[in-house]
Structure 1
Amino acid sequence: MADRDWDSPDALVLINVLEKMRARDGLTLARLQDGRNGVSAPLLGLAATRRYATVHNVELGPAALEVVGQCVRFTMSGTDQIVADAILALGLFADVYSQHGLDSRVVQALSADSLGRRRNALLVHWRRLHESMGHSPGEPPSDRALRGTTEREVLRELARQLIRREVYSVGSKSVVMPTPGENTANSTPALPKGKVIVVGGAVMDATFRTKNLPARETSSEAYGFDLSPGGKGLTQAVAAARLGLDVSLIAAVADDRFGQEIIHYLRDEGVDTSLIKIVHEARTPFTGVIEMELGDSIAVNWRNQMEVRLDVRDVDQRSHELTNCDAVLVTFEIPRETVQHTLALVHGEDDNRPLMIVTPGQPYPDEGISRHSLTQIDYLVAHAWELGRYAPAGQERFDPDPVARNMLAYGVETLCMLVNGGCTIYSESAHEAFSVPTFPSIYKESSAARDAFCAALAAKLIDNDRVFSEQAAFWAAAAMSCATADFPLSNSMPDRKRIEALLSRSRFTVKAAPVVPEPDPQY
């Protein structure tokens, strides 16, 4: 979008709203919810606000306050952050200021119900505030320059970021807000709960958000940081719970303070933790993630499998639960022998055995699982690059289509190959492959998006009495798209309402791809 578009009528309206809201006690929840003057209506009407309200099941006022706060925290920097926080009385950095020794009276003055008092505290403590936030202070403006120039430019930048989130968050256009008085609890018929068990990893993610990666032997400043529970197993369990399934996680978790945080998080999300293996006197595995503005990321895993690991014996101890559920989701975060044993255990039951949905990321570095284990997978949900070792012999360049045919020849029932937010389905039970389109979003597909796909696929298969169809794949792809479009939110795993809202506005249909030739017998 060209720079001049930031001064569009919509942006100018937002600047005017923010200028009015900074007066008196600032941008408070009470003023946002005050419907008498309608000043806050443009903020409440933002699609980004409506999306946040829908995803988090909150009213528009708290949603607007959170969206503004996220823009100040994560997309503004330096002086802009500090000034926006003070003149709007947001109080976002009060803890930071206190930790760096600012007097409590100064911190309170920055959130006072008088704009003049907030301005005075900002100017008097300009240097200390910047140093607390790790920014170079520069010379403070005069009171006149602050009022006439600096504040105007800061609010213009904030309006720009709000418009940026509005325009680029394509998924926000799919949000359907309930009409006043609508009983959303009764709007969708209740579905019977399915029982799902996830076997995978539960770690802590240390996520640094940055605009640029530093060169070797240099460093760069991150504009955001988060320490939170993660791991594919944990995320798939949370995603399934959001879809109303009865979910248990089988994972190994240390008993240190981070492990306790993981357990509390899972319980808060409605995931049963009774099958988790607690490892005493061990350290929680960590993943270091460097995340870019549009969601693409790189990561370094420290699995600590010498201390924290799920063994074959641990699976045997939970065999009754594993063989008496509707679906088992397995990730390659656990040792290869444990994955293979889990597949054999579940697949050894009768025709009513649980469905097996497997995620092969990250692939094992030395070799894959055995060909016999591949025959025990009902649904393999993979990125193309994860399947490189299964390419036909002599293939000079990587071509995912022959690889997919090989996977079916090895015995995988259905391969869901994820590509750029959409997926292509190869299945032994169908006569032709078909592609499910992506729902456009400026954000890049994250690893969590696949976790949403796996959980949604399990949910739809359970809903449909295990019958797989193009519509089931489309629904799972929509869940993945919701997780991608909602990437800036701290909670991007969608519920059923969020998925249905996206589908209700979709212009896509599922179309069959050309018939896939039979695999070459030599492979």
Structure 2
Amino acid sequence: MADHGDEWDAPNALVLTHVLEKMRARDGLTLTRLQDDRGQAAAPLLQLHATQRFANVYKVDLPSAAHGVVSQCVLETIDGTHRIVADAILALGLFSDLHREHGIEDRVIQSLRADSLGLRRQTLLGNWRRLHEAMGLTPGEPPSDRTLRGTTEHEVLRELARQLIRREVTSVGSRSVVLPAPGEGNPNGAVSPTGRVIVVGGAVMDATFRTKKLPQSETSSEAYGFDLSPGGKGVSQAVAAARLGLDVSLVAAVADDRFGQEIIHYLRDEGVNTSLLKVVRQARTPFTGIIEMELGDSIAVNWRNQMEVRLDARDMDGLSQEFTDCDAVLVTFEIPRETVQRTLELVHRGEEDRPLVIVTPGQPYPDDDIPRHSLSQIDYMVAHAWELGRYSPPGQDRFDPDPVARHLLAYGVETLCIPGNGGCTIYSSTDLQTFSVPSFPSIYKESSAARDAFCAALAAQLIDNERTFSEEQALWATAAMACATADFPLSNSMPDRRRVEALLSRSRFTVKPH
């Protein structure tokens, strides 16, 4: 295991230490102070991914979220005497009820939250033993006022800053959309577009019920949450690519009802070009009904409404020039099989300088798979293991992903990526052959959005590196997938580049490519 002695001495931790030192002055880290200083001293706290995630999950403003995140860190990650000191010098008042239960007078409790740092210090030192005993701790000798000011407080705030940074990258996730620094115009923190991507897939509305348990047959259960939002792999991959700074267009069929209009507005808000959408008049938007558990397990029922809303093979014929002018085409099996085949044919018309093709085979077609010649036109297939059953070699009775993967490579797929359990297994017909990307553990299950983040990140990395695929590119795409998983249960957990780079830079592990 790596030595982590200096792991959290990165500039972010130093900046946060400085912010906390500023915030302890006068009335401390109060909600009013955070609101008043949100554009100045408090800005780094408000811009933390963890703060933004807290705000989204608990539906509070950023100052309240910052106060909540700091309080959680003190309660959950700061130990012993340091916890008592942090509570007092920042005027958090986290242990007021506990102090009353142990007979500490209200005047002392109020002084620990006074708007004077000097009074809070004096009260802390004057009640050192009693405060420790109330916490069930054995008190040592209290420090001198000089030691408290010059040494102890700095150690406490430095440790608190480290824990805030650690909270940024832990498996419970953080907000993927980074607030811009003053003067920055892009709300997603994305860089200028560096590549052109076309996504060909589905656009639906997701009706998500969040529940603690699934109802038994002929019974019902209560949901603790509900969300109605644009979805579908096509939409998700397009948004994921836009978050990574790519110039993205979505090719999909969209109804012209109010839900279809909501999908279009959502795509535009996320920076996705909607000029290639097929708008179907007097049609109803397809829906996916999702029952989602607390840690991300889910089941879904799709109503694709393909009798009314569908991309036909002939709809693709007018897009030849669009495909020629882009760097990568992402295709999902949400569209009819014939449309997938026609898309691959059009992309391969310009063999010398054609775009890369990344295919997601979900959901697998119920009646048949795509023909062998179409498989040979796929550069990268990103599939869950269970989706590959149709491609088992003849005579194989028991499903085994390994021979299935090699069978697909024999059919002509250049590289197969099988994400799972926070990591990814890669099978490639290039010199890389087969390797596994380490996992980024999370308490949450991989959401359907995680693979979409992987596909978009894979496209971004291939474009950035002039179509070269290596362990580094696979790791970067897997990290993007991990960010999307970790940021559950946000309604849109797609990461931007800064979020992915932060996860990689602070990861405990490194990969040394062959």
Q: 1:408 to 1:252 in 2, by over 3 A?
A: same
Counterparts of 2:180 and 2:253, CA distance in 1: 45
Q: 1:212 to 1:467 in 2, by over 3 A?
A: same
Instruction: Determine whether 1:241 maps to 2:238.
Output: no
- How much has 1:404 moved relative to structure 2? 0.7
Q: Give the aligned residue type for 1:214.
A: P
* Structure-1-length-normalised TM-score: 0.67
Match of 2:204 in 1: 203
Q: 1:511 to 1:399 in 2, by over 3 A?
A: farther
* Structure-2-length-normalised TM-score: 0.68
Match of 1:425 in 2: 426
- How much has 1:393 moved relative to structure 2? 2.3
- How much has 1:324 moved relative to structure 2? 1.4
Match of 2:51 in 1: 49
Q: Secondary structure at the match of 1:208?
A: strand
Question: What per-residue deviation string (whole Å, max 9, x for no partner) do you get for residues 224-269 of structure 1?
Answer: 0000000000000000000010000000000000000000000000
Q: Is the 8 A contact 1:210 1:290 kept in 2?
A: yes
Question: What per-residue deviation string (whole Å, max 9, x for no partner) do you get for residues 95-148 of structure 1?
Answer: xxxxxxxxxxxxxxxxxxxxxxxxxxxxxxxxxxxxxxxxxxxxxxxxxxxxxx
- How much has 1:48 moved relative to structure 2? 3.3
- How much has 1:464 moved relative to structure 2? 0.5
Question: What per-residue deviation string (whole Å, max 9, x for no partner) do you get for residues 430-468 of structure 1?
Answer: 253110011111000011000000000000110001111
- How much has 1:356 moved relative to structure 2? 0.2
Q: Is the 8 A contact 1:54 1:175 kept in 2?
A: no
Q: 1:47 to 1:422 in 2, by over 3 A?
A: same
Q: Secondary structure at the match of 1:474?
A: helix
Q: 1:267 to 1:253 in 2, by over 3 A?
A: same
- Which residues in structure 2 correspond to 1:80-99 (within 5 Å)? none
Match of 2:9 in 1: none
Match of 2:460 in 1: 459
Greater mean alpha carbon deviation, residues 427-436 or residues 234-243: 427-436
Counterparts of 2:209 and 2:350, CA distance in 1: 44
Match of 2:156 in 1: none
Instruction: Flag structure 2 segments of 5+ consecutive residues without an equivalent.
Output: 1-28, 71-163
Q: Give the aligned residue type for 2:326.
A: C
Greater mean alpha carbon deviation, residues 369-378 or residues 45-54: 45-54
Counterparts of 1:67 and 1:235, CA distance in 2: 29
Counterparts of 1:265 and 1:65, CA distance in 2: 31
Question: What per-residue deviation string (whole Å, max 9, x for no partner) do you get for residues 17-73 of structure 1?
Answer: xxxxxxxxxx9964643569xxx99x9799832655899xx99526448989xxxxx
Q: Give the aligned residue type for 2:491.
A: S
Match of 1:485 in 2: 486
Match of 2:407 in 1: 406
Match of 1:96 in 2: none
- How much has 1:409 moved relative to structure 2? 0.5
Q: Is the 8 A contact 1:174 1:501 kept in 2?
A: no
Match of 2:353 in 1: 352
Counterparts of 2:445 and 2:190, CA distance in 1: 33
- How much has 1:414 moved relative to structure 2? 0.5
- How much has 1:320 moved relative to structure 2? 1.4
Q: Is the 8 A contact 2:234 2:332 kept in 1?
A: yes
Q: Is the 8 A contact 1:392 1:403 kept in 2?
A: yes
Q: Secondary structure at the match of 1:318?
A: helix
Q: Secondary structure at the match of 1:351?
A: helix
Question: What per-residue deviation string (whole Å, max 9, x for no partner) do you get for residues 492-522 of structure 1?
Answer: 0000000000001112334679xxxxxxxxx
Q: Secondary structure at the match of 1:170?
A: coil
- How much has 1:351 moved relative to structure 2? 1.9
- How much has 1:488 moved relative to structure 2? 1.7
Q: Give the aligned residue type for 2:295.
A: L
Match of 1:225 in 2: 226
Counterparts of 1:433 and 1:45, CA distance in 2: 40
Q: Is the 8 A contact 2:238 2:249 kept in 1?
A: yes
Q: Is the 8 A contact 1:175 1:501 kept in 2?
A: no
The RMSD of aligned alpha carbons is 3.6
Q: 1:488 to 1:29 in 2, by over 3 A?
A: farther
- How much has 1:183 moved relative to structure 2? 8.3
Counterparts of 1:223 and 1:345, CA distance in 2: 47
Question: What per-residue deviation string (whole Å, max 9, x for no partner) do you get for residues 278-333 of structure 1?
Answer: 00010000000000000111100000000000011110122211221000000000
Aligned residues: 384
Q: Is the 8 A contact 2:56 2:490 kept in 1?
A: no
Q: Is the 8 A contact 2:267 2:274 kept in 1?
A: yes
Question: What per-residue deviation string (whole Å, max 9, x for no partner) do you get for residues 164-208 of structure 1?
Answer: xx79952548999999989899xx996652000000000000000
Counterparts of 1:243 and 1:168, CA distance in 2: 19
Q: 1:35 to 1:309 in 2, by over 3 A?
A: closer
Match of 2:138 in 1: none
Q: Secondary structure at the match of 1:300?
A: strand
- How much has 1:391 moved relative to structure 2? 1.2
Counterparts of 1:237 and 1:313, CA distance in 2: 22
Counterparts of 2:454 and 2:367, CA distance in 1: 27
Match of 2:368 in 1: 367
* Residue identity (%): 74
Match of 2:216 in 1: 215
Match of 1:509 in 2: 510
Match of 1:279 in 2: 280
Q: 1:352 to 1:179 in 2, by over 3 A?
A: closer
Counterparts of 2:69 and 2:206, CA distance in 1: 23
- How much has 1:398 moved relative to structure 2? 1.6
Q: Is the 8 A contact 1:436 1:511 kept in 2?
A: no
Match of 2:63 in 1: 61
Q: Give the aligned residue type for 1:250.
A: V
- Which residues in structure 2 correspond to 1:108-147 (within 5 Å)? none
Which ranges of 4 or more aligned residues in structure 1 deviate by more than 3 Å? 27-32, 43-48, 50-55, 62-68, 166-169, 171-185, 188-192, 509-513
Q: 1:289 to 1:433 in 2, by over 3 A?
A: same
- How much has 1:489 moved relative to structure 2? 1.8
Match of 1:379 in 2: 380
Q: Secondary structure at the match of 1:481?
A: helix
Q: 1:52 to 1:494 in 2, by over 3 A?
A: farther
Instruction: Flag structure 1 segments of 5+ consecutive residues without an equivalent.
Output: 1-26, 69-162, 514-523
